[in-house]
Structure 1
């Protein structure tokens, strides 16, 4: 078997995944904090925007969080699809661990968007297409979390909640292109991962640092939450007992 495929196959073992998560989660969080600290420091060094003044600096928190709120839902749906098709328990665990993290970043997106919108639009909230669809995304995350916790059997609960995640992924392109399809107060795309960005290069570095930082934070948080769920499911197994007995 290909060494990479063999590694992924072994990672599906609960004890192996537990050791992997315990080892790498602190590294992910440590890298995230370091990179985001530099990113935030850089965000205060760049010049003020010629139209928005200093209020634009919340962009460096708002936009990476918004992008991550969408990508986490896509990752959750992908894990859910794999779990439903191939019955891989670890993918169920990872999918359900995504939901609270994604919900948190969606809340950050909505809150920072409101703070940014107040001086720009003169209101904390407007039923703008982008804001409204992002709010619907939060409700979908909460629906996945609620459904997963409403069913006692963990595997049945993960399948039901995973199906909702797969259906809900249809909302993602609506959120992304809402500013194009409808008349919107929300500004258009400023940063592009693969195309030309509209932001001046001198202002882009803090964004990319924050973007990388939140990715590592998500990875670390995913490992922590998945490890906890994995241990709850495996409670009573010998390897968990030995782990608990360690000094």
Structure 2
């Protein structure tokens, strides 16, 4: 996503006191696109923003909890997880550095989360009060309107991610699910050599299958020359036959 030159310099260069450096770091997120480093300092006070660290495996937000804040991931990866009545868990989506989470539920009238958000790695998150985002202050700051526009755009992109999940899990066979998932990642990375952020267990969870079944299918696909892989790196080779 393209950012203006001021944001790019602020995000990559960094100068000044620690608080200013921290504010400039926030500008790497698309949520703050077209907001200057100077306005970022004002925005943090206006939005009642605060940072919090989360350990790997920690439940950041539990299903049915009230959502009052939008989270901006400053470091790490967070999974959106749905648990069934038997305790089975499915990864619906995964968010990485500079992405946001919680926005889908905080805008609802009954702002309770239908899913849990879990830290997949060590994480650092910036939290912003949605009430303060939605209701502009008396100063009618321009950066506030920019923030709202960015938020709605990112919500649309998040819906696109969930549509990808539907595309993958609606495939009729496990092989087709794997191929669809890898195809989407290949298109995103614009290469047949792709690196996945999910490990094997997480990938199987995302595909709504178990790891052993997925591992067997991947081995068969490699033997047939469809792909090759080493840990989280995959190479897509020959296209699948039409009847697959």
* TM-score range relative to shorter protein: under 0.3
TM score, norm. by length of structure 2: 0.28
- Structure scoring higher RCO (CA < 8 A, sep ≥ 6) equals 1
TM score, norm. by length of structure 1: 0.28
Q: Which protein is richer in strand relative to its size?
A: 2
